[in-house]
Amino acid sequence: MTGLKVEKKEKENSRQLSGRFVRALRRSGVIYGLKKSRFRQRPKSDQLKKRAALRKIKIKEERKKLEKLGKI
């Protein structure tokens, strides 16, 4: 997290201060970064990809076998 700091100016009410803080937060890009990484998924490992591919091949073979037998 960045050390975003906004101090109250003289004759500034809390609403103006919060608005200035929100603008500074938007400009810093912190919110954008958090939203961007919120649903990030890890890349699949090589072993996981290999297992998925083998599973697909097995299912295709089973389907072909059942089609030959006339069950599908």
Please report the pLDDT score of residue 3 as a whole number.
78
- Residue of 53, 72, 52, 54 whose CA lies nearest to 63: 72
pLDDT along the chain (72 residues), means of 10: 81 93 90 87 94 97 94 84
Give pTM, 2 decimals.
0.48
Please report the pLDDT score of residue 36 as a whole number.
87
d(CA 35, CA 30): 9
